[in-house]
Structure 1
């Protein structure tokens, strides 16, 4: 846990379980499987070595993560109106990108993931 009481995690969409796998960022161990998550102070990370293996083998592997501080309670009235949407496809791009602009997304103030959908709020 960091000094604000939030757990730093790395998450990815688990194709086999059809949910988000949550890894403790410090230990690397899976700590939960969730259908939706809210994170703050977020980094989007793609291992280029893992991506190259996907392109070479034409088989997906876990190599892209969203890393941030897990917010334990998702507000019931989460307003996504000001959020942008991001996606990642190893066959089409090297990093997470904004769905509308196509620009690379590296950081975000806040991210809400539900299933495969990624909503992000840019920092100030």
Structure 2
């Protein structure tokens, strides 16, 4: 089922723009930051980025474990690609990523629980993260 993105704050993104994306617990959507400034530039229910990397601050995770209170320390870094945003993605090898600071120390494949560090495309949709990797 195709689902249109809901943008909570207008985004003025350009192709190739590097972004950092994290899930916003209170707004129940994704918080989108400029990679260079680290400032929030918008919010969306759905965004797709290319050349994705899955980042976890180990000191941020340690603080979560110590204080038992969540903080923003895990991101998907990627490049904005306008042509991907409205396309229906029907990749054969889409997998779901998973991160829970109490259970794993890095993003992992949800099915196999093996660590993942990068992906060709990351699809952040309705609080979940999906990814696909290049073959060959």
Give the structure-1-normalised TM-score: 0.92
Q: Distance in 1 between matches of 2:40 and 2:21?
A: 9
Q: Distance in 1 between matches of 2:81 and 2:132?
A: 15
Is residue 118 from structure 1 mapped to residue 129 from structure 2 by the alignment? yes
Is residue 97 from structure 1 mapped to residue 108 from structure 2 by the alignment? yes
Deviation, 1:117, is 1.0
Q: Is the 8 A contact 2:45 2:127 kept in 1?
A: no
Q: Distance in 2 between matches of 1:67 and 1:104?
A: 16
Q: Distance in 2 between matches of 1:21 and 1:114?
A: 12
Is residue 26 from structure 1 mapped to residue 36 from structure 2 by the alignment? yes
Q: 1:82 aligns with which of 65, 87, 93?
A: 93
Deviation per CA, 1:20-61: give whole Å up to 9, x if none.
000000111111100001000011000000000000000000
Give the structure-2-normalised TM-score: 0.84
Residue in 2 aligned with 1:11? 21
> Can you give the 5+ residue segments of structure 2 that lack an aligned partner in the other structure?
1-13
Q: Distance in 1 between matches of 2:57 and 2:25?
A: 18
CA RMSD of aligned residues (A): 1.4
Residue 59 of structure 2: SS of its match in structure 1? helix
Q: Is the 8 A contact 2:15 2:82 kept in 1?
A: no
Q: Is the 8 A contact 2:15 2:80 kept in 1?
A: no
Q: Distance in 1 between matches of 2:62 and 2:91?
A: 33
> Can you give the 5+ residue segments of structure 1 that lack an aligned partner in the other structure?
none
Deviation, 1:7, is 1.1
Q: Distance in 2 between matches of 1:109 and 1:76?
A: 16
